[in-house]
Amino acid sequence: MSNHLLLSIAGLTKVFGGLVAVNQISFDIQAGEVVGLLGPNGSGKTTLMNLISGALRPTQGSVTLEGRRLTGLPPHRIAATGVARTFQLVRVLPSLSALENVMVGAVFGPDQVSPGAARAVARSVLERVGLGGREHLHPAEMTYIDQKRIELARALAADPRILLLDEWLAGLNPTELQTGIELIRSLQAEGRTVLMVEHVMDAIRSLCDRCVVMSAGSKLAEGTPAEVLANPDVIRAYLGDDHA
Ligand SMILES: Nc1ncnc2c1ncn2[C@@H]1O[C@H](COP(=O)(O)OP(=O)(O)OP(=O)(O)O)[C@@H](O)[C@H]1O
């Protein structure tokens, strides 16, 4: 992992009506780090991902990628600066083949690419995520993990500076989960920078260099997986007072 500040989140806040869904969150991500974003249901993790990707505008605070302020840019401009994401519920286009779905990602990346180049990139990332030879299939003909692979491939096709994974491992059976963890680990080994919302403890322990834990919109803890998972405040937030 290099010592190069990639993403900086400063005082990020999102208010929905009377609810402070994200409250003054600040943390940095270094290039090559895999950072876990943890917290109980409703603690603001997806809202924070939406603020980074530009799907939502913050009420206050900023997101900076390599010194460039992303806050206020529309989502397609943020994508073009190198932020790619997958969604909690898989969002693939059912009428398109796996290859066509992934070509969409290549077209929205930082580089202007021709359809031919987008096709070549899409083939290569589909191979990379384990879908080589199946690029002509449509999502409905594929298993759930393979649909998730399409989404990951679409994000990778843009060759992002940072990859946002929102519960990419959720809903997989135990065998698929091991495959999924290995796949993310291989991205980590390539030097990819990842911010992942995750509930699967095995994945957090084995993949994350560092974790940020949210509770009721605020940052509750930050540290290595071992540190945060042993933190009484974190245990209390997940399980209630009786367990801390
Ligand atoms: N568009 C919205 N309008 C109003 N309230 C919202 C909106 N989006 C999220 N919220 C609220 O903000 C809070 C944080 O929600 P968020 O989905 O970010 O939590 P989360 O940590 O991702 O939860 P989960 O683990 O269940 O996905 C919740 O109380 C939620 O109901």
Task: Give all domains of the chain, ordered by start, each with its CATH number.
Answer: 1-82+162-171+192-244 (3.40.50.300), 83-160 (no CATH)
The mean of the pLDDT values for the chain is: 91
Phi and psi at residue 14, to the nearest 5°: -135, 125
Ranked by mean pLDDT, which of 86-100, 115-129, 214-228, 230-244 comes out on top? 214-228
CA of 46 to the centre of ligand 1 (A): 7
Q: Classify the C-alpha dihedral 215-46-4-125 as positive or negative.
A: positive
Beta bridge partners of 211: 36, 223
Would you say residue 52 has pLDDT above 60? Answer: yes
207/106: higher pLDDT: 207
Model pLDDT, residue 117: 85
Instruction: Give the predicted TM-score (pTM) of the model.
Output: 0.92
How would you class 106 by CB atoms within 10 Å of its CB: exposed for 0-12, middle for 13-18, buried for 19 or more? buried
Pocket, ligand 1, Cβ cutoff 6 A: 16, 19, 21, 39, 41-47
Would you say residue 202 has pLDDT above 80? Answer: yes
Indicate the top mutation candidate among 13, 19, 214 to test ligand 1's pocket, ranked by most ligand atoms within 8 A of CB.
Answer: 19
Q: What ipTM goes with this model?
A: 0.96
